[in-house]
Structure 1
Amino acid sequence: MARNSNGRRVRHTDFLDNGLVAEYTGSGLLPGQSAGGGAYLVQRAMPHLPPWVAAAGIGIAGGLGSLQWAQSAAAGVGLTLVSVGLTGATWWMGKVTTPQRRLHSAITVAAASAWTTAACLAGPTAGPLPDLYLMGAPAVALSWNIRVILRRNDSPADQSGDKGLLEKVGLARAQIGNAKVEPNRVTAPLAVEAGEQTNDDVSKALGRIASALDLPTSAVRYQPDPDSSRRGELVIVPEDMLAEAAYWEGPSNLGGSIADPLLIGRYDDGSPMFLWLPGDPDAGRNGTHVLIAGGTGSGKGETALNLQTEILSRRDVLLWLSDPKMFQDFRPLLPGIDWAAEGGTPTEVMVEAIQAVIPARTRWLGRHNYRQWIPAAAQVQNDPQHSCRTDGRACGCAGMPYLVAWMEEAASTLRNLGDDAFTGIAQEARSAGVSLIVSLQRPSYDQMSTSTRASLPSVIALGCDPRDESFSLPDTVLDAGAHPGAWGNRRPGYCYLVTPGIDETRYASPGRTWGFGPNAVSLMEVLADWAQRNGATADPVTAGAASSVAGNAYTGRPTPGDTPTAHDEDDMDGTGYGPLVDPEDADIDPEAELPDDEPGDDAPIFGQESGRKPSPEEARRLFVQALEEFERAGHMVVGPKDFMDWCDRNNLSRPWVSARLKEAALEGRLEPTNTTGRWRIVPALTAA
């Protein structure tokens, strides 16, 4: 027997009376189990024995009763009243079942009680009583055996079985076909009445079906047939296998390709939950972008860790990560990440770099005869079929790894850059071997443009406010029974996965990502060290395009030697954060006496006349120097607000800076970004 989410034991009769899960208890074996020949026959015969046992019991009762009440008038009256009362009670109690079962039960009880009454009064061997027993008892027992056999509906979907449950939920004329029973999963074809009902009626009845079966709403799903408006498959999962959290034990395919499936959790029937990022021309699957959506406390952080650890464990992929939360959840993985940017200006630079990288990568793939990125594109190009040379020989160009651009807490980035900041990337990146992953709490139209949302075909929808369900999942998946609003933040990690590569019937199946406990930190650090030493490095095309925009802000993944493993007592404070003394104060002797007062030490600091305003030529020279300082610092996106302190120091106004920014753009030193008033610095070596 199975158990539902409340721990109640679930019998097969708790499901549809036509035997949707009869195989669970009909033979005593679960699917996939086997027994010996004799045991098998006994197990198959057991469901048919009760009517024969009852028939034998009636004969014994009639014989014993005749010894006590033979020729007794008072006993005759009592037995007659008992027979009538028992038959009437059977008819009354049968009103909750089907008319056929009610009539069959009443006739059986009436015949058995009448024969028992006559046998008790006259004796079981008197007159025709023995013949009636020998002919009637087997006939009645066989009739119940036949009924049990017919309950296992082997007819096509056009022939319906017992309608008890369907009548309760308003689908009395729906027809259920032969059910497919798997461990903890029952799938049955369903067809509603032609011309009277549609698949929408079944979707609306899912909550009532779950109520009738005493199961959670998410345990009952319906997958419409795309070729019919009245046929589909009803799926029932009686036991919630996600209630007990399972924890991450390491990557599923260390050293594999990013083209292989990424394992991020499990479904409610125990099967693995996979996600693919690159496309596969042989399988007819396109590359995809991913939206991760869920409210506070729904498990977005651990879901992101599941996906990031799988990405970093592959040999042919780069990960660029923007996180306004300063990598609070992902710090153990930083050594393996090719580019990590905090929020604000660093993220602006990364977005601009991604926009520049896409056409460069697309151009390279096209020149090497790749219509889309495949694992061979990440290898050295020694195949003449993928050569950029015109003489038909292999070009030997360096391979191009896949690129994943991850925007964590993207709501903050969208507020700063505009709700269409990712639109161009999402629409163009897939053909360039780039996947965009956007994570935020509420992907509503007021935070993300509808064009961007439409360009994110994959979604991991975690628990949310019921009013936000339509922002995360397509209407077809919600109609099929998906209900992330039922979880809220009470079940972290519970999610629905909609993505190319998995069966669409799985879209409405709940899953749960692996949990990351305290013990996972050390394992993540080991994985990051592996990725740092063995992961892909940026190809010249990607690195060149990124550096042409980001300058010093993009340096690629740090090499193992760049990460300090021990603290030097001479220049470290014991925490790994560098010297305790500012460089300009390094020569000061802390033991020396302070100098005596000098003339002018008591002059007021405030209320004095401001400094000299520079001449126009000097001001322009200072402005050029300021741009160079921003570039050296990796601050590659600027606007008037970035010059506020500089204006105060040089007695220049913000309007003057705005005018100089426009002039620099005309000269090719700056380029406009998607955000009004923000300009991208063109590195000096590549300035037009």
Structure 2
Amino acid sequence: MAQSNPAQQHESQLHGSTSAKGVGGYLLHRAKPHLPPWLGMAGVGMAGALGNWRWEGSAAAGVGLTLASVALTGATWWAGRAASSQRRLHSAITVAAGSAWVTGACLAGPAAGALDDLYLMGGPVLALSWNIRMLLRTSDGAGESSDKGLLEKVGLARMQLGQVRVEPNRVTVPYAIEGGEGTNDDVSKALPRLASAVDVPTSAVRNRRDPDSAARGELVIVPRDMLKEVIWYPGPSSPGGSIAEPLVIGVYDDGRPLQLTLPQAIHLLVMGVTGAGKTEGAIDVLCEALTRRDVAVWLSDPKRGQDLGEAFPACDWVVDTPAGAEIMIEALKAAIPARQKWLGDHAYRSWEPAAAEQQNDPAHSCQQGTACGCPGMPYLLGWFEEAANTLRATDDDVFTGIAQEARSAGASLVVSMQRASGYQISTDTRASLPSSLCFGVDERDAGFALPSEVLDAGANPGAWGNKRPGYCYLCSAGVDEDLWSTPSRTFRNDPVTLEWVAAAFESVRMGIDAVTAGAAAGVAGQLYTNRTAAETQEDDTMDAEPLIDAEDANIDPERELPEDEQGDDTPIFGQDAGHKPDPAEARQLLAAAIDEFEATGQMVIGPKDFTDWCDRNGYSRPWVSERLKEAYLEGRLADAGRGRWRIVPQMSHA
């Protein structure tokens, strides 16, 4: 016969007959859950009486019973490791008291001494304590049941939850998975379903793994998004301080400051789709960096100052073309060994704030035993905004060497782009950028900026896209790893603030050091040495652009055309027309073309840059390639890799 469920039985008992039989059945039904402790008490008494009949006065039995009592208590404690601490302690005390009484009763008799009184008083107390625990657990039991039901829904039925910690806008729940029944990876996979079950955004549920266990950790739930409120940049966090101090660029979702320490971050990848707040994040970082006393900034901005133009006056060097970015990269390559040598000569294993001061410490001197008094060397920040443009014009691996060597030279790279995919930046370069500031991205691109363990912990920048500008994750050395998967938001900022910072802290910032400047001038020539004048000249040219080409400026339109000269060819079908220079003259023309490239600031060249020259003079690109190799052997060019050559500046220009 099919049995009715407990709810139906309870309903029938409430509304059924009120006869003595019905009342007795109801009371018996209500008493049954509370009988086990009393039955256990009776069993202990019977065990003591039977044991006394068998082992009264036996020394060997006393040893055995004592060992059994200790073993049973220890087994109870071990078996309760997954239960709450209160239940575990209660169980161990009950077993220890019962087994101790049985041992005494078996050896001396249940009624010997105070054993009978202990049984009659202690037994009911222990039994009632379990009854009271059961009564008080009525509401908790519902919670336990609902928790189990929730965990079953999300596929984590084998997971045990620990004591819940409730903090302002944060709930932390320790968890443990039964051995062999699952891992932390299963918890990470279930996070979206868990977020759905508790009705919060996916990014509001995170998994903090225990680094010493594959089956333990903490679930962190943030029920309310505290980042929705815009916070404007509050001003410099450490005006006049060192770049080695943290830059405060925003807040986490629990109100803690979002801090980035560049010398610890080493190199930074900034990534986010259009409209995700990447530019405001850049302004936040620059606003903080440009208020520090010991940093110099080299900035490549293909957007020509559209967003970061207010920072240009505060930077030591700014370029805004692909050719300029290419030569800035070459200058960084040259500056790194020069800076490393200076730091090594002054006994610095890596850059530190003291390296930016005048070297008055004999321990940091390039002269043995005495203070050298050399000027200091500022930290160098190479910032490449919209780096995808630079990479398309150069090579996807162009930053790799710099990223691998710049740390010991007191230099950091910031590479900002929308997608750091393998089509735009090499995997070696991306691996050499150990820190990332990831704004909203396409869901498929999150793995390009964030480590897999951060994504497994619940980080999900793909959920934002460009719908929540400024929302980001920061993964960097010097930041607690628990915060890597914690959402944050950069300050709201504007170019006016950046312009104020650039002007107000001009006297605070130290200038570029002679070592770095010399290395840059040795590579970029007048593109670096005349960088301020070049910017002014460019602005003037834009204001008054000539209406005719410079080469045509002195032509008299009324003058008769010249007669044919010796060497001119008569145009014949199938033959080249015009005067073709001899080899010596061609080499001179090529040398002049190289000088012209240097004069215009294009310091990295290749055969493709001579296309127009070849068309004018009737030479092929292979011929130009051979002449460029000759110029390399003569020292006029240096190998820039990838079939391109870097112009070595003339001494007069340097």
TM-score range, shorter chain: 0.7 to 0.9
CA contact (8 A) 1:532 1:558 kept: no
In structure 2, the CA distance between the partners of 1:266 and 1:618, relative to structure 1 (3 Å rule), is same
Name which of structure 1's ranges 380-389 and 187-196 shifts more when overlaid on structure 2. 187-196
Structure-1 residue corresponding to 2:587: 620
Q: Which residue of 2 aligns with 1:400?
A: 377
Name the counterpart of 2:602: 635
State the SS of the aligned residue for 2:635. Answer: coil
Larger Rg, first or second structure (1 or 2): 2
Q: Does 1:293 align with 2:293?
A: no
Correspondences of 1:156-555 after superposition (within 5 Å): 163-279=148-264, 287-390=265-368, 392-516=369-493, 520-555=494-529
CA drift of 1:634 comes to 2.1
CA distance in 2, matches of 1:454, 1:278: 17
The 1:538–1:512 alpha-carbon spacing in structure 2 relative to 1, beyond 3 Å, is: same
2:206 partner SS: strand
Give the drift of 1:82: 11
Tell me by how many angstroms 1:681 deviates.
0.6
TM-score, scaled to structure 1: 0.69
Distance, in Å, in 2 between the alignment partners of 1:648 and 1:371 is 53
For residues 665 and 220 of structure 1, do their structure 2 counterparts lie closer, same or farther at Cα, with a shift above 3 Å needed? same
- Mapping 1:64-103, distance limit 5 Å: 83-84=14-15
1:227 alignment partner, SS class: coil
Structure 2 counterpart of 1:672, from 639, 644, 652: 639
Aligned Cα root-mean-square deviation (Å): 3.7
* 8 Å contact kept, 2:380–2:411: yes
Residues 572, 234 of structure 1: alpha-carbon distance in 2 compared, 3 angstrom cutoff: closer
The residue number in structure 2 matching 1:61 is none
The match for 1:682 among 621, 630, 648 is 648
Conservation of the 8 A alpha-carbon contact between 2:174 and 2:216: yes
- Partner residue of 1:644? 611
- Residues 122-175 of structure 1 show CA distances to partners (whole Å, capped at 9, x for unaligned) of xxxxxxxxxxxxxxxxx9x9879944897899xxxxx99964533432333423
Aligned pair in 2 of structure 1 residues 681, 149: CA closer, same or farther (>3 Å)?
same
Counterpart of 2:567?
none
Deviations 1:601-650 (A, max 9, x none): 9x9xxx97844222322222222222223223322111223233334444
Render the CA deviation track for 1:38-93: whole Å, top value 9, x for unaligned: xxxxxxxxxxxxxxxxxxxxxxxxxxxxxxxxxxxxxxxxxx999439xxxxxxxx
User: Does the CA-based 8 Å contact 2:308-2:495 persist in structure 1?
Assistant: no
Give me the whole-angstrom Cα distance separating, in 2, the residues matched to 1:403 and 1:395: 23
- Residue 115 of structure 1: aligned partner: none
What is the Cα deviation at residue 500 of structure 1?
0.8
Alignment size in residue pairs = 523
Conservation of the 8 A alpha-carbon contact between 1:613 and 1:652 = no
In the TM superposition, residue 413 of structure 1 has moved relative to its aligned partner by 1.7
**CA distance in structure 1 between the aligned counterparts of 2:431 and 2:381, rounded to whole angstroms:** 19
Greater helix share, 1 or 2?
Answer: 2
Q: Distance in 2 between matches of 1:532 and 1:667?
A: 43
Change in 2 beyond 3 A, CA 1:631/1:610:
same
CA drift at 1:595? 9.4
- Aligned mates of 1:427, 1:197 — CA distance in 2: 39
What's the CA shift for 1:221? 0.3
Report how far residue 208 of structure 1 moved: 1.9
Q: Is contact 1:612–1:651 with CA below 8 Å preserved after alignment? A: no
* 1:61-140 correspondence runs (5 A): 83-84=14-15
* Secondary structure in structure 2 of the residue aligned to 1:684: coil
Stretches of structure 2 that go unaligned for 5 or more consecutive residues are 1-10, 17-29, 35-128, 565-569
8 A Cα contact 2:291 2:508, kept in partner: no
Check the 8 A contact 1:386/1:394 in 2, yes or no: yes
Q: What is the deviation of 1:341?
A: 1.1
- Structure 2 counterpart SS, 1:340: strand
Q: Report the residue type matching 1:273 in the other structure.
A: L
CA change 1:412–1:227 in 2 (3 A) is same
CA contact (8 A) 2:191 2:205 kept: yes
Q: Deviations over 1:520-573 (max 9, x none)?
A: 3322212112344432211111111111111111138849xx998xxxxxx999
**2:45 match:** none
Give the alignment of 1:550-561 within 5 angstroms.
550-555=524-529, 558=532
**1:265 corresponds to which letter in structure 2?**
G
Residue 444 of structure 1 and its aligned partner are, at CA, apart by 1.4
2:292 and 2:508 in contact (8 A); partners too: no
Within 1, Cα distance between the matches of 2:512 and 2:285? 20
**Does the 8 Å contact 2:209/2:218 carry over to 1?**
yes
Q: Distance in 1 between matches of 2:603 and 2:557?
A: 46
Structure 1 position 176, deviation (Å)? 2.6
For the 8 Å contact 2:440–2:471, the answer to whether it is kept is yes
Are the aligned partners of 1:661 and 1:670 in contact in 2 as well (CA < 8 Å)? yes
Distance 1:161 1:191, change over 3 A: farther
Mapped contact 1:151–1:162 kept (Cα < 8 A) = no
Aligned-partner Cα distance in 1 for 2:342–2:153: 62
SS at match of 1:439: strand
Q: CA deviation at 1:249?
A: 3.9
Of 605, 629, 633, the match for 1:662: 629
Q: How many Å separate the matches in 1 of 2:234 and 2:141? A: 46
> In the aligned structure 2, how far is the partner of 1:655 from the partner of 1:581?
35
Deviation of residue 487 (structure 1)? 1.2
In structure 2, C-alpha distance between the alignment counterparts of 1:440 and 1:354, rounded to whole Å: 20
Q: Aligned partners of 2:617, 2:181: CA distance in 1, in Å?
A: 80
| Secondary structure of residue in 1 paired with 2:525 | helix
SS at match of 1:187: strand
